[in-house]
Each structure stands twice: as structure tokens, then as C-alpha cells.
A and B are shown apart, each in its own frame.
Chain A
């Protein structure tokens, strides 16, 4: 399970600040995903990536930016953080296009004051 790591684990920042959440996987999985988890909403997909330089929007992409210059890294950036983006963020990866399990990182708990 150490194959996918997220950093930082906890982050407190202020509204308007830019913050980047990191995700790194060592499995050479092609597909990577970013979710946010809020009480009452389960896990909602923000962005995903099928390979380096290929990214797509998920259900809740507004206010977020992603990049994938290397297969193993998939950072998520909040360009101007808002209080509504306070959440727990999970990164996940999958070996295949979608009919294979997604494996999750430990999450980043982000608080925006």
C-alpha cells in the first residue's frame, strides 16, 4: 500500500492562497485520480489522468488545476483557495482504464481559513 503517497498529510492555509497537493505512485499505473471527500457527499471526482499529459475533468473541477508531466506524479493545485475547498483530498491510481481497482493514498486534510 505504500505504492501511492500523498503530501502533505495536513495543511492549513488562508483564502486566496495557492496550494499544491502532491501525489506520487510507484506502481507505474497509467490512470490517476483526485477526489475530495466531504461529509454527506462521499467521494467526488475532481480530475483524472489517463497518462502523462492527458487530463480530464471530473464531477467537481472548478477551482482546481492538475498537471501530469511524469507518469508517477499527479499534483493538484488550488490556484486561489476558498473556504468551500476545505476537505479531505484523496489521490488514487489504477492499472487500467476503469474496470480495475483504484488504490487510494492516505489523503490530505486541507483547512482553508
Chain B
């Protein structure tokens, strides 16, 4: 099955700086890569996603890049703000049975210091 590795596990940045979180995946059949943000005690919420036919996608201060050859994708947050502090999860979607399964990375605790 799919294996998703996420780094770093913790990340602290100064407000206004950029943050980068990286993930690698193992199954070349994976073709959908969402990123979720989870605040303490809350549900994971989708913040951006990318499909394998696209190399980069941006949404305001958030961007995701995908390198299919190297099997890695990254989340970039620019001009970080204290409200960006949360746990971020990457995931990869692989075919399995009657649906495509999402396999999640183990998460990155991002702390934005004021």
C-alpha cells in the first residue's frame, strides 16, 4: 500500500516568514494530493489540493508543488500569521477496492511566533 512520509514533524517560524512542509509518497499510481489543517480539538479542514496533471497550485498565501518523478510534494505558506499555527497533514490518494484511499502523513505542528 501507499506510504506517505512528512517532514518536519515540528516547525517554528517568525510571523511574516515563510513555512515549507514536505511529503514523499511511494505509490506511483497516486494522483490526488490534498493538504489539511487541523487546529487543536477541531476537525481536519482541506486547505489546498493538487492533482497529478498539475505541477503547482496557489491560493493566496498558500501554494503546493508536486514533483511526480521524485514522488514528492510540498506545502508553502508565505507571510505567515499567528492563526496559521496548527497541525498540517499531507495525503496521497491511491486506488484501492471500490474507492481511492487517502493515506495521510504523520503531521507537522506549525507554530508561528508573533
Interface residues of A (CB under 8 A from B): 1, 31, 33, 40-45, 48, 50, 54, 56-59, 90, 94, 97-99, 101-107
Contacts and interface: CB of A to CB of B under 8 A. Distances in A.
Contact of A54 (B32, B96, B98): B98
B101 A104 contact: no
Contact of A45 (B31, B98, B102): B102
B114 to A, nearest CB: 26
Nearest to A41: B106
A97 B106 contact: no
B89 A98 contact: no
Given A43-B89, A56-B96, A98 B43 contact: no
Contact of B97 (A33, A40, A56, A94): A56
Interface string B33-52: 01010000011111001010
Interface residues of B, number: 29
A50 B44 contact: no
A59 B56 CA distance: 29
Contact of A101 (B46, B98, B105): B46
Give the 6 A-B residue pairs with the shortest CB-CB distance, closest first: A98-B100, A50-B98, A56-B97, A42-B104, A104-B43, A99-B32
B93 interface: yes
Nearest to B30: A98
Given A43-B104, A54-B98, A101-B49, A59 B89 contact: no
A26 B104 CA distance: 25
The prevalent SS among residues of B at the interface is: strand
B43 to A, nearest CB: 4
B55 to A, nearest CB: 17
Contacts of B98: 48, 50, 54, 56
A107 B39 CA distance: 13
Contacts of A106: 42-43
B70 interface: no
Given A41-B106, A104-B43, A97 B99 contact: yes
A104 B89 CA distance: 13
Nearest to B89: A42
